[in-house]
Amino acid sequence: MHMINRDVMTNINAENDHIAMHVNEYLKRKGIFTVNVMGAPGAGKTTSLEHLIKLLKAPCYVVEGDIESDIDTERLRAEGILASQINTFGACHLDAPLLHNAVHAMTLEKPGFLFVENVGNLVCPAEFSIGEDIKMLQVSVADGSDKPYKYPLAFEKAGVILLSKIDLTPYLDFDEDFFLKGVRHLNPNVPVFKVCGKTGEGYAEAAKWLAERAGK
């Protein structure tokens, strides 16, 4: 976004942050703990939500953010999950006004979790708060072990990281030590859970951690 005047960007961010604060206050009043789910296209974010929602004991709501299509929302609804769609039609990330509108159109009857799956993009979503309590970053082993070095902001801002598709590790040259060294350099204390969407391995630990973090 370097071609946009710095003052314009500062104003956009200030306005966004103001609305994000309002969204967060509104959700907190309803007893909702909000998770901003970030990751590159194909990291397996929707699959992780399916696993986590089955494991969490509190009610869960989902907002799906996509440029176009409602493939993931339909997939979640088919499993009985309360899911709502935001289409950005070109925009590369969700922002607080988009979530504000989505949230006010939803019936959030019971306290619980709201998972907001951001647009698949390892860059832009990390720049914008949407009113979340925590950012959950998902990276697949197929994405490669150099990702923290190339996309530092997403790793720096993550409150929890899921390292996914670990069943593919035998067929890849994924260097876990190099990956974790990069993560630790940017974010020394962030928990990293190794998960497998196919078998469900690792999600029980991640769900337990989330429930404790949310106090639910």
Walk across the sheet containing 134-140 and list its strands: 82-87, 60-66, 112-117, 32-39, 134-140, 160-164, 192-194
Rounded CA-CA distance 116/38 in Å is 9
Minimum CB distance to its own copies smaller for 126 or for 207? 126
Q: Which CB, 92 or 211, lies closer to its own copies?
A: 92
For its own copies (CB under 8 A), the number of binding residues is 46
In the three-class reduction of DSSP (H, G, I as helix; E, B as strand; rest coil), residue 100 is classed as helix
Calculate the alpha carbon distances from 188 to 66, 123, 160, 163, 202 in Å.
31, 20, 11, 16, 21
Interface mask (CB under 8 A) for its own copies, residues 104-143, using x and -? ---------------xxxxxx--x------------x-xx
Dist. CA 189–CA 141, nearest whole Å:
20
- Measured from the Cβ of residue 74, the count of other Cβ atoms closer than 10 Å reads 12
Binding to its own copies by residue 212, rule CB under 8 A? Answer: no
User: Is residue 136 within 8 Å of residue 37, measured between CB atoms?
Assistant: yes
Across the strands, what pairs with 179?
none
- Smallest gap from Cβ 1 to its own copies, in A, equals 6
Q: Which range, of 85-93, 99-107, 155-163, 202-210, touches its own copies by CB under 8 A?
A: 85-93
- DSSP state, 98? H
Identify which range of 49-57, 67-75, 104-112, 203-211 contacts its own copies by CB under 8 A: 67-75
CB of 51 to its own copies, least distance (A): 16
Q: Which of 58, 67, 190, 204 binds its own copies (CB under 8 A)?
A: 67
The binding site for its own copies (CB under 8 A) comprises 1-4, 8, 12, 15-16, 40-42, 66-69, 71, 88-92, 95, 97, 119-124, 127, 140, 142-144, 146-147, 149-153, 165, 167-168, 171-172
